[in-house]
Structure 1
Amino acid sequence: MKTKRAFNTNLLSVVFITMALLISATVFATADEAKVKVKNVFSQVETSLIKLKKADTLTKNNIRDVLNQYLLPEVDTRYFTYKVLNKNMAKVPDDLKASFIAELSQQLINTYSNLLNKYNNEVINIGQSTLSKSGKIAMVDITIVGKNKTNKAVVKLLQSDELNWLFFDIEVEGISLLQTKQAEINASFNKLGVEGTLSHLQKINQKVIED
């Protein structure tokens, strides 16, 4: 009887250990997948920047075009916008939500563009990837190494319902784009209201295009 009980206990131990190993393997695989996503996107961006540099066409607008082509489709623009709007989300009418998503998405692209607009054949290195406790958010280190300066950033990705990794924030030298925009939008809502804030965002984005 004791032998049977011991056997069952050992069997349960084996099952639990196996499950733990499988879960652990899944977590590491997921972290690696987030890193691969970032590496693939920035590899395409870097290749395009090198071509622009060689052709002497490395303009702000061309850099934004590259980011709109390769980065924007990999951004969870809805999640980013809703996080930026935060408590102000309840004030936005349904018919204006798409406009806010479009304008704030361009703000995100503009931030990446500012990080790259002085590109001079720097090497974009993708570092380690770590997961949040929930496993739903990944943080991937990026280092842009130049001859005279090195910029460090952390890209944040969210796991979608389809188990894909999508960008939603970037920290440059410890400063979060999402949190910065959140503070700006909150102040703008208090001062300009919903439509005034949207108009302000549209004017900023238009000015960036024209510069």
Structure 2
Amino acid sequence: MKKWLVMLVAAFSMMLPSLSVAQTVDATNPYALIDGVAENAFSRLKKDKEIYQANPELLRVVVKEELMPYINVRYAAMNVLGPMARKASKEERDQFTDAFYDYLVASYAQILTQYTDQVVTVEPAKSIDEDRSVVSVRVDIADAARLPIRLDFKLRKNGKTEEWQGFDVQVEGVSMLDTKSSEWSGQLRKNGIESVAKELIERAKAPITKDESAS
């Protein structure tokens, strides 16, 4: 768990184009989406840094308001379930999606406790074919505490709204969704979706704390 959190610290730290005033997020372009969400989230962290350091639990609010609206949680959750998603009932799919949402909020809030300045290079925006529904945006991060890291953010376009949402990130070629699917596949098969959903909810209840050892 800690290893993956450290990897995602880098992933979210890429969102540092500028830390001025909040901007409207343009979800119709995946490159603009990453820039807008990043600027708003990290401007907020910088502005109230002392408040969040004193009470890290408040980072859950930042995540819910600044990040989660731009993540396709259900699509990500169904990818984690894999073949089991087709066999599951609607109630089971809904239950797992809700639990996965809570798990992501807690995980991202914990990640944000490790926020530090890094040198980030986001690939230039490219033209996107109208019929293309999935785009990968590459980001390279140079961190004095670690070797440079390559990230590839996966975003998917909603065919009805024409807006993009993130659903996965690859860290040096390793997919977060694939990792979670592998981690939970055995338990899903053995104990079922409801059992795993309940475990995710319990994990999400863990306090958000500053983990100095992961800095």
TM-score scaled to structure 2, two decimals? 0.70
Alignment of 1:138 with 2:132, yes or no, is: no
Q: Displacement, 1:141?
A: 2.3
The one-letter code of the counterpart of 2:66 is Y
Alpha-carbon displacement from aligned partner over 1:88-121 (angstroms, at most 9, x marks no partner)? 1134222232221121123334444454321133
Q: Is the 8 A contact 1:141 1:152 kept in 2?
A: yes
Q: 1:94 to 1:85 in 2, by over 3 A?
A: same
Match of 1:87 in 2: 83
Change (3 A) 1:58 1:183: farther
Query: Which residue of structure 2 lines up, in the alignment, with residue 17 of structure 1?
Result: none
Question: Any idea what the Cα deviations from partners look like across 1:55-105, whole Å, max 9, x if unmatched?
Answer: 462754333321211110111112111111111113422223222112112
Quote the offset at 1:125 in angstroms.
4.7
* Residue number in structure 1 paired with 2:194: 195
- The residue aligned with 2:157 is 159
- In structure 2, give the amino acid aligned to 1:126: V
Structure 2: tracts of 5 or more residues without a match? 1-27, 211-215
Residue 26 (structure 1) aligns with: none
Query: CA, structure 1 residues 69+204, in 2 after alignment: closer, same or farther (shift >3 Å)?
Result: same
1:15 — aligned with what?
A: none
Structure with greater Cα Rg: 1
- Matched to 2:132, the amino acid is G
Larger % of helix: which? 1
The yes-or-no answer on 1:78 pairing with 2:74 is yes
Report if aligned partners of 2:96, 2:193 keep a CA contact under 8 Å in 1. no
Q: Distance in 1 between matches of 2:125 and 2:207?
A: 32
Shift of 1:184: 2.3
Which residue in 2 is equivalent to 1:20? none
TM-score (norm 1): 0.71
Equivalent position of 2:178 in the other structure: 179
Task: Tell me, in whole angstroms, the C-alpha distance in 1 between the residues paired with 2:175 and 2:54.
Answer: 26
**Is the 1:91–1:194 contact (alpha carbons within 8 Å) kept by the matching residues of 2?**
no
DSSP-derived class of the 2:192 partner = helix
* Cα RMSD for the two superposed structures: 3.0
Does the 8 Å contact 2:80/2:181 carry over to 1? yes
Q: Could you tell me which runs of 5 or more consecutive residues in structure 1 were left unpaired when the two chains were aligned.
A: 1-31
Q: CA, structure 1 residues 82+141, in 2 after alignment: closer, same or farther (shift >3 Å)?
A: same
**Superposition pairs for residues 115-130 of structure 1, below 5 Å?**
115-122=111-118, 125-128=121-124
**Residues 125, 142 of structure 1: 8 Å contact kept:** yes
Q: Distance in 1 between matches of 2:91 and 2:209?
A: 27
How many angstroms apart in 2 are the aligned matches of 1:113 and 1:155? 19
Which shows bigger deviation, 51-60 or 172-181?
A: 51-60
Conserved 8 A contact 2:169-2:176: yes
Q: Distance in 2 between matches of 1:115 and 1:173?
A: 18
Counterpart CA distance in 2 for 1:54 and 1:123 is 23
Residues 143 and 208 of structure 1: CA distance in aligned 2, closer, same or farther (over 3 Å): farther
Report if the CA contact (8 A) 1:49-1:58 is conserved: no
Q: Deviations over 1:21-64 (max 9, x none)?
A: xxxxxxxxxxx921001100111111122123254627543333
